[in-house]
Copies of this chain bind each other. A is one copy, B any other.
């Protein structure tokens, strides 16, 4: 096989990650956050809705910076061991 399709687990992980990002964005404008992270609004929207389940590493890092999200929480959310924010700090 050349490249395996994404597993359901990976797709689920992408959904969790997207939900976290949308929640962290709170009220801010989607386009503003996207620009701050250096990605296109279209891409951010797809990540948030889970239609881009497994984005690039740098993409998520930049988004985490733009949203003031600790990297550890992003990683924990992706893994599914969704420890609350307090446990990370």
Q: Which residues of A contact B (CB under 8 A)?
A: 10, 13, 17, 54-61, 64, 71-72, 74-75, 78-79
Contact = CB atoms under 8 A, between A and B. Distances in A.
A13 B13 CA distance: 25
Nearest to A70: B72
A57 B75 CA distance: 9
A5 B57 CA distance: 16
A64 B61 CA distance: 15
A37 to B, nearest CB: 13
Contact of A55 (B56, B64, B75): B56
A35 to B, nearest CB: 15
A13 B58 CA distance: 9
